A and B are shown apart, each in its own frame.
Chain A
Amino acid sequence: MLEPVNISLESLNLSTLTPMLIPIIGALVILCIDLIKGGLNKSLYVMLSLLFLLMDFGSLVDFAQLFSENGTMMGFFDVMLIDGLAIIGQLIIVVSSMLFIPLSLTSKRFHEYSYPEFYALFLFMIAGFQFMVATDNLILIFVGLELASLALYTLIALHNRNKSFEAAIKYFTMGALAAGFFSFGAMILYALTGSIEINQISAVLAADEYSNIGFVLVAVTFLLASFGFKLSLIPFHAWTPDVYEGSSAALAGYMSVVPKIAAFVVAMRLFEFLVHSNVVWLETILYVLVVLTMTLANIWALVQSDVKRMLAYSSISHAGFVMAAILIGTTQANSALFLYWVLFAFSNLGAFAMLWVNRQKVLVAGQDSDHPFEKFAGLVRTMPTAAAIMGLFMLSLAGLPPFGVFWGKMYMIASAVSGGYTVLALIMALNSAIAAYYYLKLIVFMFMKEPVYDTDKAIHMVNASMPLKSIIGFATVFTIFSVLFVSPLMEFITALVYNSGY
């Protein structure tokens, strides 16, 4: 006779699941509404999603307060782990999602937004990312990753153009491969240590002093490859520009921010102890990866003829830049990572949202992609404000002070300096200089060239509706006045990161 399993509900600490359950319930509610009465307007679904995300946000703020009093929380058979990283990670995910979802309220009709499934999938995806960051358990990380990725593949394909299908398939294939790598790496670690919890794994590995260094190295390589795909580090980046090109600009902007922060949090949990162990050559491998990612992506971005592809390469480069934090591994660096990503999220969402409002449904003669540089030529004549805002986002991404991303760059380089990585700091600085060129290219087109396309029809700001303009306005204000937010943000982030021991 097996003994009945006897676990008190109390010890499950089910409240740790609330932040993930809220979007899941939201998704189910949206599906149910569609079952009862179909054909409702998309604005309903957008607002519902927004409400659920707001609730999610509220529960996270609640956790942030709890965390500052009680410290780390475990729950649900100890697979859930709510620590500072989990809270910041989820906050960034939820806030970016709240900024993204109103972008579907375009004035032109894009049919994917009229399906309630779009919003349900979107909320499922958020829950997946939240699971990913709020656990120490390799299996739950895997489940969260797959939940989020499968939803994301479908969202891309819903855009319903040939390029989108291509993008979705490409992303799916690469994602499947990455998932394979991940499970393989996790398997080896389990075989070595008999545990799938990262802190257990690190404790066991440290206890026998990394005697199976060969196996550890294989496992780390597999895991690194898997997250390399998710974070689009070079040489695992090849899918990124194509996928961004195939998906709508709004979704591309979202993909450049949210999945990556989830992956960064997991990478921080996984690799930090290995970098500090000094036994595994991870430090060297990461160093090479970081430098290659920053530099090569910048060089490829120089030669792009489409703004969206250029931004895709730029986001690869930014990811490489931020990955340096995991290499440096001090609290200062890890805090800088989150600060950078928050500031980057606003500028990048702003930039992609600007592309999105400029997306026309029918291409004009001579235009061979959605957003070639030529399309923006002479924009300052017809729409000075739009040109100025787009220019602002470009300058911010280039790291020009005092706009958003500069402060992230400054903190990141400062942490490299105080972490003893002098050469890396210089490489980071010089890469920012290379990057400035391709951001300038768009500014040159907008402000200094004559319009190229000869057409009577409006091709700029055709999608601009009030919600989109508000989002862009919000991003603009945040980008310009970011210096005022840096100090409180940094204080909040540092406290959370420090208290969770990173």
Chain B
Amino acid sequence: MDSILTILIFFPAVAGVLGFVVHKDSIRAYGISVAAIEFALSLVLWMGYDPNVSGMQFMESIPLIPEFGISYLLGVDGISLFIIVMASFFTMIGIATLGETKRIKDMIITLLFLQMTMIGVFASLDAILFYVFWELSLVPMLYIIGAWGGPLRIYASVKFFLYTFTGSLVMLVGMLFMAYFYQQATGVWSFSLLEWYRLILPENYQLWLFAAFFFGFAIKVPMFPFHTWLPYAHGQAPTIGSVLLAAVLLKMGTYAFVRFSLPLFPDASVFFMMPIAVLAIIMIIYTAMVAYAQEDLKQVIAYSSVSHMGVIILGTFALNVEGIAGSVFLMIGHGIVSGALFYLVGVIYDRRHTKMMREFGGLASVMPRYATIFGIMVMASVGLPLTINFVGEFLSLLGFYKQSHIMTLLAGIAIIVGAIYMLAAYKKVFFGEVTKEENKKLPDVNKREMFALIPLTVIALWLGIYPKPILEPISNSTESIVQLMHDKAITQEAKERIPNLVDEMSISRTSTQEAH
């Protein structure tokens, strides 16, 4: 159990290397077994996790470059735990339900390497280690989009890579500055996040460093106006690529905000709270409107995914327990729901080789099971109560309501817009008469697809009805972050905006409970 995180990270990579030897007829079974073992391991991690402890667990530390303070430092808390579980879950069902794919061996090995980087990002507590996995995750994704994507795949993949790479390099400069300030303050170099947490920086340093980190994270999320790579990437990526991109890779950005920006720069977070909230609201409303104008079903979901990422950002920058815990929960919810929606689009694309909504219509009568599952996921996506996204969205907005009423109102309206375009898209595809001849004989979802869709549907409903098992560890860890931020804050405004939990711990506990 001591080194379970190392095993989780490198097991898929080692399996990927060995996978080169496996014959291509058997590679699918090999991939499924590896991913299933990995998923089981992640469940073991969850079982071993103590939900009452708010700090880091399963810590591992090996010095890599001691004189420069770089170490192999791993650990999980309630915030990263569930994203790791989700990442291994999605890789498993992704490989298991992989449709007919050319060069399937390359695809599965690439997916296993991608899994290593995804889990590595969420388990790293050393900034450089984090950066290594963060950057490495670009390579498998580049290959997945570029080799198995649509007609514009090369443009889309290179754009994806360069956009993220540029942002990350600015972030790297920020990290080096942070380490330098740490060295100035303490006399030793360190890239350990836990050591950085203890450093209180003057406000103007915080502002600059916040901006440097913001570039890296905002491009990854992607926040308006850095979002332009995402529709291309989604539009061209194969189904599995879109699913993993939406479910896990985008979460790296929002996760990094919670892990880096907030606790390292509490004053800057308060300073930039309103500008970022404005960006988030623009992102929610603008992309919702763009989504409404799309004719391609996959683009609708891509833009809706960006739109919901805006709510996550808004919740994160509420800077209180409700908001951050809600946004972390929404990361999970968004992962499940938009992953499932992209998968559903893939299902229909496999059958018709088109994603244009005008090509469909009346599918509800042809493919009833498909329509049902799609319907549930659309409802979850728009945040219907008793579905997974409702919990996260409600908490995020509740959190931000404490900071600004008007902004929250605007964001709330945007969610209604979200309902409009999702339902409109659903109507176009599933209701009405079956107009096209090709659609009359479409087979309903088969067993393999059910294997992916049933668990996702169950999770989407289960966590909507009873979110406690996940929400509790998340809010425990969130509380410690908020408290840390409050203690570190220098300016008066930041002290006021970020609640002091030592006094009101009981109050915030009850308010999260109510939200269930």
Contacts and interface: CB of A to CB of B under 8 A. Distances in A.
B380 interface: no
B135 to A, nearest CB: 5
A432 interface: yes
A436 B106 contact: no
A429 B142 CA distance: 21
A418 B139 contact: no
Contact of B166 (A402, A430, A440, A491): A430
A432 B326 CA distance: 37
Interface string B166-185: 10011011001101100100
B154 A410 contact: no
Contacts of B68: 411, 414, 487, 490
A11 to B, nearest CB: 39
Contact of B180 (A384, A418, A429, A494): A418
Nearest to A443: B142
Given A433-B162, A437-B162, A448 B154 contact: yes
A328 interface: no
B136 interface: yes
Contact of A401 (B131, B147, B176): B131
Contacts of B65: 483, 486-487, 490
B169 A414 contact: no
Contact of B161 (A384, A422, A440, A484): A440
B158, B166, B176 interface centre (most CB from chain A within 10 Å)? B176
B505 interface: no
Given A417-B173, A487-B67, A448 B162 contact: no
Contacts, number: 87
A332 B153 CA distance: 43
Contacts of B421: none
A35 to B, nearest CB: 51
A426 B162 contact: no
B152 to A, nearest CB: 12
A459 B297 CA distance: 44
Contacts of B169: 429-430, 432-433
A31 interface: no
A400 B139 contact: yes
Contact of A418 (B128, B157, B183): B183
A486 to B, nearest CB: 6
A380 B110 CA distance: 13
Interface string A442-460: 0110011100000000000
B67 A410 contact: no
B450 to A, nearest CB: 33
A75 B476 CA distance: 69
A270 to B, nearest CB: 29
A425 B169 CA distance: 10
A444 B154 CA distance: 7
Contacts of B424: none
A413 interface: yes
Contacts of B166: 430, 433
Interface in A449-502: 449, 483-484, 486-487, 490-491, 494
Interface string A418-440: 10001001100110110011001
B172 A413 contact: yes
B157 A429 contact: no
A395 interface: yes
Nearest to A398: B165
A258 B394 CA distance: 62
A85 to B, nearest CB: 20
A401 to B, nearest CB: 4
Interface size class of B (residues with CB under 8 A): 20 to 34
B146 interface: yes
Contact of A487 (B66, B131, B138): B66
B176 A413 contact: yes
A400 B164 CA distance: 12
B132 interface: yes
Interface string A349-387: 000000000000000000000000000000010001000
A429 B67 contact: no
A429 B173 CA distance: 7
Contact of B162 (A401, A410, A440, A487): A440
A483 B128 CA distance: 11
Contact of B170 (A384, A426, A437): A426
A443 B106 CA distance: 15
B143 interface: yes
B64 interface: yes
Given A430-B169, A448-B153, A490-B65, A414 B176 contact: yes
Given A410-B172, A436-B165, A448-B146, A395 B67 contact: no
Contacts of B179: 414
A444 B131 contact: no
B146 A447 contact: yes
Contact of A447 (B131, B135, B147): B147
B157 A436 contact: no
A395 B113 CA distance: 15
Nearest to B169: A429
Contact of B136 (A384, A402, A490): A402
A491 B132 CA distance: 22
A422 B170 CA distance: 11
A450 B128 CA distance: 37
Contact of B158 (A384, A444, A484): A444
Given A436-B165, A490-B67, A401 B132 contact: yes
Interface string A137-164: 0000000000000000000000000000
B178 to A, nearest CB: 10
A389 to B, nearest CB: 13
Nearest to A437: B162
Nearest to A494: B67
B404 to A, nearest CB: 33
A408 B1 CA distance: 35
A402 B126 CA distance: 14
Contacts of B131: 401
B216 to A, nearest CB: 11
Contacts of B172: 410, 413, 429
Given A410-B176, A413-B176, A436 B132 contact: no
Contacts of B157: 444, 448
B297 to A, nearest CB: 25
Contacts of A447: 143, 146-147
8 contacts: A384-B106, A400-B139, A432-B169, A433-B165, A437-B158, A483-B64, A487-B65, A490-B65
Given A436-B162, A487-B64, 6 more contacts: A384-B106, A432-B169, A433-B165, A437-B158, A486-B65, A487-B67
| List of 5 A-B pairs having minimum Cβ-Cβ separation, nearest first | A433-B166, A429-B169, A401-B132, A448-B146, A487-B65
